[in-house]
Each structure stands twice: as C-alpha cells, then as structure tokens.
Amino acid sequence: AQTVTQSQPEMSVQEAETVTLSCTYDTSESNYYLFWYKQPPSRQMILVIRQEAYKQQNATENRFSVNFQKAAKSFSLKISDSQLGDTAMYFCAFMKHVGTAGYALNFGKGTSLLVTP
C-alpha cells in the first residue's frame, strides 16, 4: 500500500520567516510524482509544486522549494519569506497508478499552516 504521512497537524510561522513542512511516503515504485497542494480557507485546492522522482534536482517555485530525499522517502516543503496569504492547509500527495493507465493522487492528512503578523 502506498501511504503518505504528514506528521505535523499544525504549524505557525511569523511573516517573513521560513517554515518547513514535512512529508514521508511509502511506495515500491521507482518512478513517480510527488506534489504539494495548498487549500486556503476558501477550500479550492491549488497546486504549489511538483517533483518527479527520477530528477535529483529539487524543485523550486518562487518562494516554495522542496527537499526530496528519495532513499529516505521524504519530501518536505520549504516556504521562504512567509506571507499572510500562505495561511492554508497544505497537503502532500503521491501520484499512484490506478487501473491500467490511470493515475490518482494519494493525499496525506494535511498540515494547517498559520502565518502571523
């Protein structure tokens, strides 16, 4: 079974500071994709960043970057220069195969991030 574990239910960070959200996963596949999604209080899920497992280089998207450790099956998200608008639930997700040619996302339980002034 492929599982995604986010061990931090809640986190808080001050504006302009850096915060790291952790995620571990379990899979027997060698090639896969990992994602971080953000779900603000308005509830629409937004893709933050994506990592292909075959790429050793860590993905970055502006203030968001990941630390991907394939051997350790770890996929943490770093948010630099935190902004009030970063307040949201953050979900780590593993893309799993379903059926013969499909993919679906397997989500962790999420980390609620609060950015304070």
> Does residue number 21 form part of the binding site for other proteins (CB under 8 A)?
no
Q: What is the DSSP letter of 84?
A: G
Among 28, 30, 31, 100, binds other proteins (CB under 8 A): 100
Asked whether 25 and 16 are in contact (CB, 8 A), the reply is: no
The pattern of x and - marking residues 51 through 90 that bind other proteins according to CB under 8 A reads -x--------------------------------------
Inter-CA distances, 107 with 36, 45, 84, 90, 104, Å? 9, 12, 24, 10, 10
Positions touching other proteins (CB under 8 A) are 4, 33, 35, 37, 42-47, 50, 52, 91, 93, 95, 98-110
